Amino acid sequence: MKKVLTVLVLVGVMLAATVSGAFAFPAGTWVSGVTVANLSSETATVMITFYNPNGSIALDFSGGTIAGNGAKTWYLPSHVTALPSGFLGSAVVLADQPVAATVNTQLPSGTNPMRVGTSTGVGQPGPTMYATQVMKGYYGWNSYCAVQNAGASAFGVTAEYYNAGGTLVDTDTQTIAAYASYIFDQSLDAELGAGVYSAKFIGDADHPLGVVCNFYNVGTSASTSQFQSYNGIGAGGTVLYVPRVVKDYYNYQSGLRVQNVGTVALNVTVTYSFGAKTYTQVSPSIGPGQAWGPYMGDAAQVPELAGVSGSGSAVIAINGDTTNKAIIATVNEDNRVNPAGRGVTYEAGLAADATGTLIFPQVVSEYYGYSSGIQIAKVAAGASTCTAAYSASGPVAAFSVPFTLTDAVPSWSQFAPNASGMITGISNDNYNGSVTVTCTGAPVIGIANMSFRYDRDARYGNLLGDSFTTARGINQ
């Protein structure tokens, strides 16, 4: 099979893996769902190779074909039945057309309370990858990072951990077989005390890495079932773009984690946009390796947003001279009130990430109780005229929604059930498709989220816990 796309790495793929013994991350039987989107207008033929932790092949799986600009989802327990029960490993997707993917790590469908997180397939593994937020015993929160060696031979990958003050406090080196993954479980690291850390994972040019980190609450009730996934980030910049932040928005709050991946201390300015109004916040000094960020649910941490509520976007920029300075950032969003226990994390974007075409492999509307929203933000001055094209799925015909981004209002969002092409009425869209956003003018980045919405689709009862997921759209 001709491989058009750089190896697309899917990290932390599970099939009915019961967690015990070797790992301390959340108890239960965990599974994965994989969605692959065809970024071409031509039909794509897809193969997924699953790897055991020792590097041996667990299964070569033929994914068949995906129609041009279409997507296909495999819920592993139901759709990849030849994969051994209890599998916990990694995968590589090969296709004869460019593709992108998302991976859900979750408790089985129908579990109540639910726990799920979403990451994206790693299209460009890097020699060094950063993680803004890992935790050990922090008020019931812990984390782990699945690190995949995308090189063709085994390699010793080193994890470095930095405390809240930016001091390197621990290193851990593990040999990872070619295309396999290793779980760096912070809750089992004896050198780490209770707290919040940032991390750096080091490979080399011949052994680039894919990284997905998950952090999670204690999980003893629906209100403590948060399970949040995000991708490691391989390169920093001087300006970062955040498509969505929320403050006092239907009980949801955002938080930022800005990590200094340069070699000297720096400050950043965060410019928040809510509607046509902007607000600025200046950080304290952030040392090399250190991470900083405010939680918007605490008024004392963002006094600049006093009285502000709603959904908006943000820009994070290094102040002053940028020599030897670079930053990365992730964005958290959670609900600690009602429905409590929901949380997501996604990665802020660089201007270099942005393009005029953005792919969301999976968007749903009243689909087994789940519904999605998408949010788009531009990353340059000037207007951008855009169209969000929803692919056909189930009873819903393909349709498009036009919108415009301006300097005054630089972001746009849409709750999928409210899109004009969905079926009129409640609980009957049954939509599970992809969305392609095309823009003329300023380039864009964006995210898609998904959660169980009993208020929109009551056919499946009220599923409690963390059904909330978010992933960055794929820029093409």
pLDDT of the chain, 476 residues: tens digit per residue: 444 433 345 555 666 544 434 455 687 889 999 988 888 889 999 999 999 999 999 999 999 999 888 888 899 999 999 998 888 899 999 999 988 888 899 998 888 899 999 998 888 899 999 999 999 999 999 999 999 999 999 999 999 999 998 999 999 999 999 999 999 999 999 999 999 999 999 999 999 999 999 999 999 899 999 999 999 999 999 999 999 999 999 999 999 999 999 999 999 999 999 998 999 999 999 999 899 999 999 999 999 999 999 999 999 999 999 999 999 999 999 998 888 899 999 999 999 999 999 989 889 999 999 999 999 999 999 999 999 999 989 899 999 999 999 999 999 999 999 999 999 888 899 999 889 999 999 999 999 999 999 999 999 999 899 999 998 998 88
Helix (H) or strand (E) holding 79: helix 76-79
Question: Are 236 and 132 within 8 A, CB to CB?
Answer: no
pTM of the model: 0.92
| Predicted local distance difference test score (pLDDT) of residue 18 | 44
How many angstroms separate the CA atoms of 18 and 159, rounded?
A: 26
Cα gap 401→139, rounded to integer Å: 44
Query: Which is nearest to 193 in space by CA: 170, 212, 171, 214?
Result: 170
CA distance 248 to 305: 11
Buried b (16+ CB within 10 A) or exposed e, 166-204: beeebebeeebbebbbbbbbbbebeebeeebbbbbbbbe
**Interstrand relation of 465-466 and 411-415 (parallel, antiparallel or unpaired):** unpaired
Q: What are phi and psi of 207, to 5 degrees?
A: -135, 65
- Distance CA(419)–CA(348), nearest Å, equals 26
Alpha carbon distances (Å) from 132 to 102, 196, 234, 334, 346: 20, 10, 11, 17, 11
Q: Is 376 exposed, middle or buried (0-12, 13-18, 19+ CB in 10 A)?
A: buried
Identify residue 290 by its one-letter amino acid code: Q
Look at residues 105, 110, 104, 148 and name the one whose alpha carbon lies nearest to residue 129.
148
Of 352, 290, 282, 292, nearest to 319 by C-alpha is 282
Indicate the helix (H) or strand (E) that contains 76: helix 76-79
Enumerate the β-bridge partners of residue 36.
Answer: 72, 101
**423-442: b (≥16 Cβ within 10 Å) or e:** beeeebbbbbbbbbbbbebb
| Phi, psi (deg, nearest 5) at residue 96 | -95, 10
Residue spans of beta strands (DSSP E) within 406-468:
411-415, 431-441, 444-452, 465-466
